[in-house]
C-alpha cells in the first residue's frame, strides 16, 4: 500500500486549493466591500430593500437545500419565516434576553416546529409533498390571521389591542440604524449560509445527495434515511427561523398579510430561477423575491407583474437553464477563465 501516503498528500493539496480559489477570495472581497460601502452606495431606500432581500435569501437557501440536494419540494418556507418571527417577537417582548439569544430561541423553536410539520416529508416526495406543504402553508396563513403577531401585549399571544398600546420590538444593539442593521443582517446571513454550506460539503450533504439519487442506494450505503431527512428539515427550519427573527426586528412588528401561502410559491419560483443547486442561486432568489418588485416600480412598471415575470422566468429556467441564473453565471465564468488561460498559454 505504498501509494496511500502519496494519495493522501495529493488530497490535502486538493482541499487547500479548493479553499483558496480565485472565486472564494473574490467572494470574500465582495462581501467585505458590501459590508463597508453597501449602505453608502445603495442609499436609504435600497439599503432597506437589500436588507429584506438578504433575509429572504436565508429562507431561499433552505429551499435550495431541500430541493437541490434532497429533491424535496417545500412550499411552506415563508410560513416558517412567520413562525420564526412570531417566536422572536413573543420572546423578545417577554424577556430581557439579548437579541442574539432570542434569535437562537427562534431557531430552535422553528426547527422543532419545522420538523413536526415536515414529518410528511418522510413518506412523501414530488408533487404529493408539494401539495401537503402548500396546504400547511395555508393553515399557517389562517392561524397568523387569527392570532396575529405579538406586539407587546399580555397573554400567550402577546397581543395588545389598540394602536397606542402596540410596542415594536427594538432592533439589536449593533443594528439600531438602517445601515447598521443592513450590516448586521449581512453578517447573520453569511453565518446562516456558512451553516448550510458546511452541511452541504460534509457528511450530511453527501448523505442527502445519496438519498436524492436513490433511496435504495442510500440505504445500501448504510445511511439512515429517516434521520438525515429529519436533520435536513431541522437545519432548514432553524435557519429559516433566524430569517423570521431578523425580519421581525427589521420593523419591530409583523403583519399576517406578509405570510400568505402564495408568497411561499413565489419564493420557491425564485429559487428555481436563481438556481437551486448553489447558494449563489439562493442569494439571487432572495433579491428576485424582494428586490425585483420595487425595482419594477422604480422603472415605472407595476410591481404586481412579478408573478407574470417570474412565471416566464420559471419556464425559461425549466426548459433551458435547469441550473438557474447561478448556473449560467458559473458557465460564463468558466468560459472566461478558459479563454483567459488559453490566451496566457499562447
Partner 1 sequence: MSGALLVEGLTVQYGGVKPLDEVSLTFESDVCGLIGPNGAGKTTFFNALSGFAAPASGSLTMAGTDLLAMNPAKRARWGLRRTFQQEQVIHTLSAWDNIRLSSEHTGGGRTAVERAVDFVGLEGLDRAGSALSMLERRLVEIAKTVCGEPRLILLDEPGAGLDAGETERLIGLIRRIPEEFGALVILVDHDMDLVSTVCGTTAVLDFGRVIAVGVTAEVLASAEVRRAYLGTVELEETA
Residues of this chain that interact with partner 1 (CB under 8 A) are 1, 3-4, 7-8, 11, 14, 203, 206-207, 209-210, 213-214, 216-217, 219-225, 277
Please give the C-alpha separations between residue 137 and each of 80, 90, 145, 205, 285, in angstroms, as whole numbers: 9, 21, 12, 26, 20
Please give the C-alpha separations between residue 257 and each of 248, 253, 261, in angstroms, as whole numbers: 14, 12, 10
Q: Identify which of residues 226 and 257 has a Cβ nearer to partner 1 in the complex.
A: 226
* Cell 425559461 found at: 316
Q: At what angle do helices 261-274 and 324-345 cross, to 10 degrees?
A: 20
Q: Identify which of residues 19 and 216 has a Cβ nearer to partner 1 in the complex.
A: 216
Min CB(183)–partner 1 separation in Å:
34
Min CB(46)–partner 1 separation in Å:
35
Min CB(20)–partner 1 separation in Å:
15
Q: Identify which of residues 221 and 301 has a Cβ nearer to partner 1 in the complex.
A: 221
Q: Identify which of residues 7 and 335 has a Cβ nearer to partner 1 in the complex.
A: 7
Min CB(237)–partner 1 separation in Å:
23
Return d(Cα 236, Cα 117) in angstroms, integer: 13
Q: Identify which of residues 301 and 337 has a Cβ nearer to partner 1 in the complex.
A: 337
Min CB(240)–partner 1 separation in Å:
23
| CB 185, CB 246: distance < 8 Å | yes
Closest CA to 63 of 23, 4, 114: 114
Q: Residue length, the chain?
A: 346
Per-residue b/e over 220-237, b at no fewer than 16 CB within 10 Å?
eeebebeebbbbbbbbbb
| CB 125, CB 72: distance < 8 Å | yes
Min CB(60)–partner 1 separation in Å:
19
Give Dmax over CA atoms of the chain in angstroms: 78
Q: Identify which of residues 123 and 315 has a Cβ nearer to partner 1 in the complex.
A: 123
> What residue ranges in 145-255 does DSSP mark as E strands?
none
Closest CA to 225 of 204, 240, 239: 204
Q: Extract the C-alpha cell encoding 70.
A: 434532497
Min CB(31)–partner 1 separation in Å:
25
Q: Identify which of residues 16 and 40 has a Cβ nearer to partner 1 in the complex.
A: 16
| Coil vs helix vs strand at 282 | helix
Amino acid at each position: 500500500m505504498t501509494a496511500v501516503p502519496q494519495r493522501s498528500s495529493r488530497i490535502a493539496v486538493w482541499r487547500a486549493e479548493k479553499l483558496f480559489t480565485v472565486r472564494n477570495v473574490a467572494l470574500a472581497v465582495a462581501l467585505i466591500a458590501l459590508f463597508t460601502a453597501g449602505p453608502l452606495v445603495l442609499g436609504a431606500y435600497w439599503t432597506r430593500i437589500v436588507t429584506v432581500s438578504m433575509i429572504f435569501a436565508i429562507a431561499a437557501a433552505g429551499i435550495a437545500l431541500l430541493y437541490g440536494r434532497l429533491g424535496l419540494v417545500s412550499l411552506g418556507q415563508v410560513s416558517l419565516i412567520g413562525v420564526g418571527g412570531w417566536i422572536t417577537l413573543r420572546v423578545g417582548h417577554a424577556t430581557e434576553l439579548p437579541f442574539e439569544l432570542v434569535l437562537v430561541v427562534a431557531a430552535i423553536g422553528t426547527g422543532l416546529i419545522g420538523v413536526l410539520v415536515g414529518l410528511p416529508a418522510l413518506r412523501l416526495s414530488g408533487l404529493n409533498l408539494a401539495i401537503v406543504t402548500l396546504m400547511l402553508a395555508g393553515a399557517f396563513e389562517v392561524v397568523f390571521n387569527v392570532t396575529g403577531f405579538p406586539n407587546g401585549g399580555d397573554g400567550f399571544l402577546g397581543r395588545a389591542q389598540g394602536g397606542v398600546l402596540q410596542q415594536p420590538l427594538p432592533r439589536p444593539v449593533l443594528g439600531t440604524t438602517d445601515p447598521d442593521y443592513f450590516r448586521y443582517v449581512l453578517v447573520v446571513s453569511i453565518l446562516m449560509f456558512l451553516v448550510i454550506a458546511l452541511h452541504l460539503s460534509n457528511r450530511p450533504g453527501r448523505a442527502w445527495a445519496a438519498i436524492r439519487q436513490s433511496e435504495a442506494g442510500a440505504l445500501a450505503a448504510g445511511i439512515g434515511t429517516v434521520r438525515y431527512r429529519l436533520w435536513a428539515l431541522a437545519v432548514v427550519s432553524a435557519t429559516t427561523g433566524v430569517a423570521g427573527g431578523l425580519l421581525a426586528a427589521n420593523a419591530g412588528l409583523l403583519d399576517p398579510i406578509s405570510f400568505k401561502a402564495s408568497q411561499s410559491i413565489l419564493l420557491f419560483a425564485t429559487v428555481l430561477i436563481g438556481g437551486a443547486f448553489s447558494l449563489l442561486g439562493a442569494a439571487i432568489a432572495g433579491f428576485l423575491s424582494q428586490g425585483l418588485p420595487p425595482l419594477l416600480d422604480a422603472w415605472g412598471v407595476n410591481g404586481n407583474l412579478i408573478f407574470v415575470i417570474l412565471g416566464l422566468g420559471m419556464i425559461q429556467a425549466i426548459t433551458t437553464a435547469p441550473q438557474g441564473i447561478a448556473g449560467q453565471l458559473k458557465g460564463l465564468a468558466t468560459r472566461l477563465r478558459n479563454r483567459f488561460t488559453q490566451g496566457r498559454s499562447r
